[in-house]
Amino acid sequence: MFPTMPKMNLHMINARHQLTGIAKWLSERLDDAFAVSAKHLPLLDTDVIMRAGKAVIPEKGHLGYAPERGLIYVTVDPENPVLRTNPSQSLERMLAHELHHSSRWDGPGYGKTLGEALVSEGLAGHFAQEVYGGEREPWEQVPVSTLRPYLFKAQADWQSADYNHAEWFFGSHEFPAWVGYSLGYEMVGRYLAAHGDARAAKLVHADAADFRVFLDAV
């Protein structure tokens, strides 16, 4: 007996018709991303709630968030021209990234500590590149020379559940933007390089502790 294929339940919040003109296109892009991701991840049925809004990444025209298992929020800005241009299948890559998070929620979870968050983001970033190729995302391109001053603090706070997520991942007066994303990406990249047959898809439920030693290699 064949296993049941997972389903994506797409819910468009569209009472004011902001999405009407691009609803079919959006649905097709997300359907493609779910189908591609489901070939590699142990996905379960997933609700994706999509709405229009301005709280997006300007260079992308969209933003994704997977706060718990089986649930992903997607915000798109129909007035942002980059959204429809969709360079390098940007929208699909975003959902693939969030689907990796969603699948990890069905295992160990996203994580409560800094170390767990670094691993979750690094794995999701590498998974999107596994399935769609292309260049790493802008938030994964912080130069290593910029990251190195934060390595000692990352090691010291690895097991901290009181870390400031916004500071580490979005920046502050003390942190450049995206340090956490790029540090996680570099760390996971070094793990993958050391394990030639490893893939982010297969590591979706891996223990974050397995990656800690590769933080020192950044």
Total domains in the chain come to 2
User: Which of these three, 88, 105, 122, is where a domain ends?
Assistant: 105
Domain that holds residue 63: 8-105
**Do 152 and 65 reside in the same domain of the chain?**
no
Q: Give per-residue pLDDT as tens, 105-155.
A: 999 999 999 999 999 999 999 999 999 998 899 999 999 999 999 999 999
Final residue of a domain: which of 87, 105, 123?
105
Task: For residue 91, give the CATH number of its domain.
Answer: 3.30.2010
Q: With bands split at pLDDT 50, 70 and 90, how would you rate the model's confidence at 218? A: confident
Let me know if residue 2 belongs to a domain. Answer: no
Q: Give CA separation, 141 vs 74, 165, 179, 204, 218, in Å.
A: 23, 19, 9, 22, 13
Residue 134, pLDDT score: 87
Q: Rounded to the nearest 10 degrees, how much is the dihedral formed by the CA atoms of 152, 155, 161, 162?
A: -10
